[in-house]
């Protein structure tokens, strides 16, 4: 648990990634000292360059599938290290499995040794191509363990099981957040997810690529909302998974139309075959987050997309 009467120390694995870097910002704003670990496989030091010179922030290049040694006290460990987009985990299948298994084990071992609170960044992918809609935390999922997406889905499902085992057997104070589609500044253009894909294509005047007929649905959570839910969960006395996501649902075709409208783009839509095991529906039930954390998303999709578009506009030039 967090130690009283001193500056809390938080470790963020994947701290140079999209979500990890925003989490570092929030923890620093909450008065923590932050140690970010990242092997930069998919992370980028540009995401934390603004923290250079901050005396309460330390960056260490490290692969968490290797033993983690940190001197001194640690109060919180946020395990966010993992390839997290379809392109990443299809190109890096073994690394994805290793960071979800060995990486989680090493981080939990550190939490046990330090008496720290441990928060696992899990994912809505645990639900697979869901047969329940919207998805509640009690739903066990519909996952193909040997499909191409299985390396990510099963890595996170294993990580959840390991986290609960450390809680039940060793008494570690653990939390599990199931993160639904999150977007915002610091995403990579070549990410494989629909937000940077459509924005990047539209800014370049290229066609927007829709897979399948575009009727599949997604919900989109702006990054500040997601991080706020994660922070609140880290302070809660609760150990089982909690969905943090936006329950407002859009078809991919609706989303393509919104991106074109906001950019005044004339980019046409082209269709390609639907990838294997691509979820047809994805929408969180956030009843638990509302009740337990007093949390719900505040940033509307148009507002969040405008902020994200400006970020990418600056990157494309």
Residue that has been written with the tokens 């690394």 in this structure: 95
CA dist., res. 272 & res. 33, Å (int): 46
Active site residue 152: yes
Residues with Cβ within 8 Å of residue 209, at least 6 apart in sequence: 197, 201, 270, 271, 272
Beta-bridged to residue 36, according to DSSP, are 12, 59
Residues with Cβ within 8 Å of residue 304, at least 6 apart in sequence: 183, 184, 220, 222
If you count DSSP H runs as helices and E runs as strands, how many of each does the chain have, helices first?
10, 13
Catalytic residue among 152, 166, 183, 222: 152
Q: Which residues are catalytic?
A: 152
């Amino acid at each position: 648990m967090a130690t009283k009467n001193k500056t809390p120390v938080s470790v963020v694995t994947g701290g140079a990634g999209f979500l990890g870097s925003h989490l570092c910002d929030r923890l620093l704003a909450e008065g923590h000292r932050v140690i970010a670990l990242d092997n930069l496989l998919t992370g980028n030091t540009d995401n934390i360059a603004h923290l250079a010179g901050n005396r309460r922030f330390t960056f260490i290049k490290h692969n968490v599938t290797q033993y983690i040694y940190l001197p001194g006290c640690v109060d919180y460990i946020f395990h966010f290290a993992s390839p997290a987009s379809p392109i990443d985990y299809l190109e890096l299948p073994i690394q994805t499995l290793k960071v979800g298994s060995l990486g989680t084990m090493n981080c939990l071992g550190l939490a046990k040794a330090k008496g720290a609170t441990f928060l696992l960044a899990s994912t809505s992918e645990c639900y697979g191509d869901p047969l329940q809609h919207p998805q509640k935390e009690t739903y066990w999922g519909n996952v193909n363990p040997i499909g191409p997406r299985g390396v990510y889905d099963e890595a996170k499902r294993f990580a959840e099981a390991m986290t609960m085992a450390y809680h039940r057997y060793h008494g570690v104070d653990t939390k599990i957040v199931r993160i639904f589609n999150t977007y915002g500044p610091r995403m990579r253009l070549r990410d494989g997810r629909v937000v940077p894909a459509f924005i990047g294509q539209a800014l370049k005047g290229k066609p927007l690529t829709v897979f399948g007929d575009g009727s599949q649905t997604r919900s989109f959570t702006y990054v500040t909302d997601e991080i706020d839910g994660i922070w609140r969960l880290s302070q809660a006395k609760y150990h089982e998974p909690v969905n943090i996501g936006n329950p407002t649902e859009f078809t991919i075709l609706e989303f393509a139309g919104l991106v074109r409208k906001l950019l005044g783009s004339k980019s046409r839509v082209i269709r390609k075959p639907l990838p294997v095991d691509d979820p047809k529906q994805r929408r969180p039930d956030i009843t638990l987050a509302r009740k337990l954390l007093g949390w719900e998303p505040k940033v509307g999709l148009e507002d969040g997309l405008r902020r994200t578009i400006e970020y990418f506009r600056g990157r494309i030039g």
